[in-house]
Structure 1
Amino acid sequence: MEKTDREYYTLDDMFVSKAAKRTRSGEEEERQRRKAIHEHQQLAARMEKCPYCFDSSELSKHLIIAIGTKCFLENYASPKQEGKGVLLYVTEMPKKVGSWIRSKSMFRNALVKMFEAKDLDCVFLEINMNVKKRYHMVYECIPLPKEVGDVAPIYFKKAIMESDEEWSVNKKLIDLSSKDVRKSVPKGLPYFSVDFGLQGGFAHVIEDQHKFPHYFGK
């Protein structure tokens, strides 16, 4: 009777097998290390040219009006908002979500009070696209006349329902009246959101990032 492969398996074979496994493991670790270095270099290059990164030479530092622990507030004059005041940005890297939400809430309360003192309403916009590239989160505050602010929810709801793809995989309009956007939109999906003053608003999961306009809502 011929011997099976298992019977021919010797101590030397065992050492060779273990050595091969260690080699494969080492090669995988090296691939992961190179991948991590490459991703870090890509992120560093993007941050260096990012107009919202605090340490970037591209940031217009003379427009900064307040600095928090995790984000900062910046005046931004927009041609689209000519005659309607300024855009106010709160920006922060997305990996610190908990701190970002607390800082965002603090600035949001202050901005609403400031505009109320001027007899103005305001809306807060966020477009979160290209999630894997880890861009800064930008939360925009746009002041509006009271009469425009009163009907803003109607116009935004209509615009969202008519936006993006005709046939959506995800729910077209998400109500944010009782939940924050990060508890309403599945993690990792791109989205647009709008809040009205201190009230909740709407969110929309973006189906096609290449077609969705970056200026939507402005």
Structure 2
Amino acid sequence: MVAAAASLVLCGGAMAAGGSPPPPAKPSSEITGTVYDTATGKPIEGAYAVAIYVEFRSSPGSTEPCKPMCVKTRGMYTGKDGRFRFPVERPDGNSPGMVSAIKPGFSSELLGAAPTGWHGRKRPEPRSDSDLPLVAQNAAKPQWWYGIGEDFLIFAKTREGAEAAVEFLKIRLSEERRLGAGAQAVEVTQGKLKRLESLPPRSRSDG
């Protein structure tokens, strides 16, 4: 899979005018937000937030639509204020392209859409409206939704770029075991972890 990922090319739609990638965002650019409990509206301390940096790629000469590929992840645990912040590396709406949050005892409230006012916006300015709602789990009837972008985590290209994804999936795996997820679900998560933990270290060609 690593070799296949290396053969992918940036899609034309992901390029700026003139066929070049968008310029790097300003160093001060950030995406920020709060992880909070939907029942109480209070911030959640100790949630793990993961920013997923995406490039839209396709195989050379392919007529198939471009596919979003995670090139790396960044992660952090929230403090008492529930806040997270990640650098915006390029003003293309995909760097990062999405953020997920996870904490034992909670599932995600987001269902199929990125945080309002962020995804797809070609703006380098810092943002503060990317809040992530979590819902307290009912152990008798657990929910298995853990946030947007979890399926993209398997496409990180290097071990360093996958560190946050590994932490996210370890928490997910622990929750699946604790709450009695089916054997197949546990096996799938274990497979994702194995893939990420076997990635090569960063090379000079990775930039």
Sort the TM-score into its range (normalised by shorter chain). under 0.3
Bigger proportion of residues as helix: 1
| TM-score normalised according to structure 1 size | 0.24
Relative contact order (C-alpha < 8 Å, sep 6+): which is higher?
2
Q: Is the radius of gyration larger for structure 1 or structure 2? A: 1
